[in-house]
């Protein structure tokens, strides 16, 4: 099956620093998404990308859909304590018949030191 | 607007027992998904429903897992019999059908002893 390689696995940063994480795939996706998951909760959608090359921002978050359609990155600028959590990339490919379940990476655990 | 509801939030059972999880999607959402999230991993799709029909169950271990959405609203996921490796968080998500806008519930945490 499809696999997403997400890196880094974890990040320890100081408050105010910028963060960058990325995701690569062995196969093409038509949609890339970035989710954040807090302890004891389900993932929450941060950014959705629908076109190769697309660059989209949501506040301090910026994400891009790679031109090859096999990768994506997420940047967080000027990190704050509430950014702590696990960030997941997810991809969707058209497998036909209306199936649009997501394939997730293993997550990047962001830890912020005050 | 109420989010996706799941119950129970936690369940502890012994191996070979049966267990069932319930999901109530966001009102009006035609598409419902069940994902399994093992500790330290991302969610993995088990099954997708469109109204009360199955769209994709290719990754559902059908020898022990079953799911239904009889009236096209609520859904139940059952494991019978459970194995140790079924210990995970079971997440339900729903969408209006627009690509990518899947809203997740808080999950049910299952521990199999």
pLDDT tens for each residue of B54-99: 999 999 999 999 999 988 899 999 999 999 999 999 999 999 876 6
**A67's tokens:** 């031109």
pLDDT digits (tens, 9 = 90+) for A34-74: 999 999 999 999 999 999 999 999 999 999 999 999 999 99
Q: What residues of chain A have any CB closer than 8 angstroms to a CB in chain B?
A: 1, 4, 6, 30-31, 33, 40-45, 48, 50, 88, 90, 92, 95, 97-107
Distance CA A44, CA B104 (A): 7
Closest residue of B to A38, CA-based? B106
Closest residue of A to B96, CA-based? A100
Best to test chain B binding among A47, A100, A107 (most B CBs inside 10 Å): A100
**B81's tokens:** 């019999």
Residues of chain A with Cβ-Cβ distance to B102 below 8 Å are: 45, 102
For residue A97, pLDDT beyond 80: no
Distance CA B52, CA A65 (A): 33
Distance CA B86, CA B103 (A): 23
pLDDT of residue A37: 97
Distance CA B103, CA B30 (A): 12
């Amino acid at each position: 099956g499809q696999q997403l390689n997400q890196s880094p696995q974890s990040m320890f940063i100081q408050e105010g620093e910028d963060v960058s994480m990325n995701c690569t795939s062995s196969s093409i996706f038509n949609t890339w998404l970035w989710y954040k998951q807090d302890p004891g909760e389900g993932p929450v959608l941060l950014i959705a990308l629908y076109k190769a090359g697309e660059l989209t921002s949501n506040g301090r978050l910026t994400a891009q859909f790679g031109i090859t359609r096999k990768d994506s990155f997420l940047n967080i600028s000027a990190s704050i304590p509430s950014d702590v959590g696990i960030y997941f990339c997810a991809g969707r490919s058209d497998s036909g018949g209306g199936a649009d379940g997501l394939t997730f990476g293993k997550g990047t655990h962001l830890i912020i030191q005050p | 607007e109420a989010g996706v509801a799941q119950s129970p939030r936690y369940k502890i059972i012994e191996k070979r027992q049966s267990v069932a999880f319930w999901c109530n999607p966001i009102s009006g959402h035609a598409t419902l998904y069940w994902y399994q999230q093992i500790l330290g991993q991302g969610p993995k799709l088990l099954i997708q429903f469109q109204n009360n029909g199955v769209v994709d169950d290719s990754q559902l271990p059908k020898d022990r897992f079953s799911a239904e959405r009889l009236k096209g609203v609520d859904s139940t996921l059952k494991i019978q019999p459970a194995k140790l490796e079924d210990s995970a968080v079971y997440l339900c998500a729903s969408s209006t059908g627009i690509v990518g806008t899947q809203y997740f519930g808080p999950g049910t945490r299952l521990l199999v002893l």
